[in-house]
Amino acid sequence: MAKIITVQKGTKDILPTEIDSWHFIEETAKRVFSNAGYKEIRTPIFEATELFARGVGDTTDIVNKEMYTFEKSERSLTLRPENTAGVVRSYIENGMHRLPAPVKLWYKGPMFRYERPQAGRQRQFHQVGMEMFGIAQPTADAEAISLAVNYLNAIGLKDLDVEINTLGCPTCREEYKKKLKEVLKPYLPELCPDCQKRYEKNPLRLLDCKVEECKAIYEKPVVKEVITSDFVCPECHEHFESVKKYLNVLGIKYSVNKLLVRGLDYYNRTVFEIKSNNLGSQNAVCGGGRYDSLVRNLGGEDTPAVGFAMGMERLISLLPARESQKLDAYVVSTNVEETLKLVEYLRKNDIKVDFDMTNKKFTKQLEKASKLARFALILGEDEINQGTISVKNLANSEQISVQKEELGGILKNVK
RNA sequence: GCGGGUGUCGUCAAGUGGUUAAGACCUCGGAUUGUGGUUCCGAUAUACAUGGGUUCGAAUCCCAUCAUCCGCCCCA
């Protein structure tokens, strides 16, 4: 036997036994997003490497160590690690700023990050998400969060925690970072190596370190005072208050998590995550926020925007497995010609039907029918002579004799 | 990149140094040439991740490699 080639590390086949769950969450996404005025957009799965370096941010782990990058004809290309940068690129390139605002887009598809796989994390995974361009008002933030919650509810997920925070604007955030670094400076030698790196690169991310020694430092009154201070400027404060007010109006339960900073550089003001307690340590099912400077940074008009992305594998792992659909009917007959004609007729009428191509014995065919279908359509000599078909309900063994034209009604109505 | 666990048929799984490596499920065939889902019988012609080593003898002990799972970092 030739050597077997296996799937690559961190990638998975989505098998026929699971595909119904995928169809379900994809169809629900299409319905929920389009009800809110969103149109689907499909962008390429690879882009210029520079798009992600500039868009996602070159201090982030995603860009630093997780990108699938390859060279082709002296171009550096990268498999998309997330889709916001690509959608923004398309928005700019296609002049969508001329469309009436807001421009509301949603997407689904594979993303790629070169990481060690573990529970809830793969190298190729799938996200469904949305981006809304052109609205600076907090109503957009609230809509994004409510859309995420509505979608999760629509696929049947209820016990989820919504966490929100505000990062302020570039001006007040710089101020905050400065204060944070100041108060932490005396403790710098005591911090874990990761935190020492974060101290230089992205002080905001110091805050959700899990190392006990670091946590203890962040709990010290002098430090905690800075962390929990409402550092944002009056405008940002007002914006965040409105977002919370709208969430209350919408009846969305949330908690404010001052430690929530997100790992991508482009966010400002509102950020949010939705988490599940049933996922192991990779417990975020949704992450998003506002990114008002990304469009400009990627060469477009100054355009405010908000968006989120959800991990589809994580969603599916929280859903009960869906039983795969049986066929409506299976033809049981030893007369090949009549079988072919009947199958053709039924398929054209949108009945899910199959038959035995090897012309096995009657009992074998019926056995197969009981495994694969809800009804057996028995087409034997008697039936052919009389121009009828015997329809056997395989769940309760009831059998009736009908005309071909009656089949559609019977097979579609009785579920 | 770092730490830990695990690799026996398509799937689940017994076996922890001694002749042909249990069993169950699935699949296929037969009992049963027009009535299935129950039952019975049989088959899947070289399944112990791979390569070394220890031993009279290894699925079992040791080493390495590979794969996979879980955790850290980070994230969906």
Residues 39-78, chain A, CB closer than 7 Å to nucleic strand B: 60-62
Summarised one tens digit per residue, pLDDT across range A372-409 is 999 999 998 888 989 999 999 998 888 999 998 888 88
Q: Which residue has the higher pLDDT, A231 or A354?
A: A354
- pLDDT over 80 (residue A207): no
Residue type, A98: R
Mean pLDDT across A189-213: 74
Give the model's pLDDT for residue A395.
87
Which 275-294 residues of chain A approach strand B with CB closer than 7 Å?
Answer: 280-287
A87 Cβ contact partners less than 8 Å away, ≥ 6 residues apart: A41, A43, A105, A107, A131, A307
Nucleotide at minimal C1' distance from the A286 CA: B76
Of A297, A311, A246, the C-alpha closest to A111 is A311
| Tokens of residue A146, six digits | 């409510």
Lookup: tokens for A81? 């690690």
What is the value of ipTM here, to two decimals? Answer: 0.85
Find the Å distance, CA of residue A78 to C1' of nucleotide B21: 49
pLDDT category, A262, cuts 50, 70, 90?
confident
Nearest to A112 by CA among A73, A69, A74: A69
pLDDT over 90, % of chain A: 61
Lowest mean pLDDT among A23-32, A242-251, A331-340: A331-340
Neighbours of A314 (CB within 10 A): 22
Dump the DSSP string for A68-135. Answer: EEEEETTEEEEE-S-SHHHHHHHHHHTTGGGSPSPEEEEEEEEEE-----BTTB-SEEEEEEEEEES-
State whether residue A256 is helix, strand or coil: strand
3-state secondary structure (DSSP) of residue A355: strand
**What are the φ and ψ backbone dihedral angles of A149, each rounded to 5 degrees?**
-65, -45
**Distance (Å, whole) CA A218 – CA A207:** 7
Q: Which nucleotide is nearest to A205 (CA to C1')?
A: B74
Closest CA to A51 of A88, A91, A99: A88
Q: What is the mean pLDDT of residues A322-335?
A: 89
User: pLDDT-derived band of residue A171, with 50, 70 and 90 as boundaries?
Assistant: confident
Average pLDDT over residues A48-52: 95
Chain A residues 255 to 274 whose Cβ lies within 7 Å of strand B are 262-264, 273
| Model confidence at A228: pLDDT above 90 | no
**Residue A218, C-beta contacts closer than 8 angstroms, at least 6 positions apart:** A206, A207, A209, A224, A227
Q: Please tell me the distance from the alpha carbon of residue A88 to that of residue A355, in angstroms, as a whole number.
A: 49
In the predicted model, what is the mean pLDDT of residues A223-243? Answer: 86
Q: Give which of A84, A141, A134 is closest to A303, Cα–Cα.
A: A134
Whether residue A415 has pLDDT greater than 60? no
Residue A215 has pLDDT above 80, yes or no: no
Q: Which residue has the higher pLDDT, A378 or A264?
A: A378
Indicate left, alpha or beta for A219 from its phi (over 0: left) and psi (-120 to 50: alpha): alpha
| A119 nearest nt, CA–C1' | B70
Q: What is the pLDDT of residues A80-98, one digit of tens each?
A: 999 999 999 999 999 999 9
Structure tokens at A295: 């469009």
Return the pLDDT at A62. 85
Does residue A127 contact residue A109 with C-beta atoms inside 8 Å? Answer: yes
Is any atom of strand B within 7 angstroms of residue A110's beta carbon?
Answer: no
| Percentage of chain A lying above the pLDDT 70 cut | 98
- Mean of all residue pLDDT scores within chain A: 90
Measured CA to C1', what is the nucleotide nearest A362? B34
Interface residues 129-188 of A with strand B (CB < 7 Å): none
Q: What confidence category does residue A216 fall into, taking pLDDT thresholds of 50, 70 and 90?
A: confident
Q: How far is Cα A367 from Cα A373, in angstroms, rounded to an integer?
A: 10
- Chain B bases closer than 7 angstroms to a protein Cβ: 1-3, 27-30, 32-37, 67-76
Q: Give the pLDDT confidence score for residue A413 in this predicted structure.
A: 67
Provide CB contacts within 8 A for A55, sequence distance 6+.
Answer: A84, A85, A88, A89, A266, A294, A297, A298
Q: Which amino acid is at A239?
A: H
φ, ψ for residue A122, nearest 5 deg: -130, 165
What pTM does this model have?
A: 0.89
Residue written as tokens 């798009």?
A: A51
- Residues with Cβ < 8 Å from A312, sequence gap 6 or more? A22, A25, A108, A125, A126, A127, A128
Per-residue confidence band for A221, with pLDDT thresholds at 50, 70 and 90: confident
The residue lying closest to nucleotide B30, measuring its CA against C1', is: A364
Q: Please report which confidence band the pLDDT of residue A186 belongs to, taking 50, 70 and 90 as the band edges.
A: confident
| Strand B close residues, chain A 307-326, CB < 7 angstroms | 309-311, 313-314
The pLDDT of residue A39 is above 70: yes
Q: Is the pLDDT of residue A1 over 60?
A: no
How large is the average pLDDT for residues A364-377? 92
Which nucleotide is nearest, taking the CA of residue A335 and each C1'?
B34
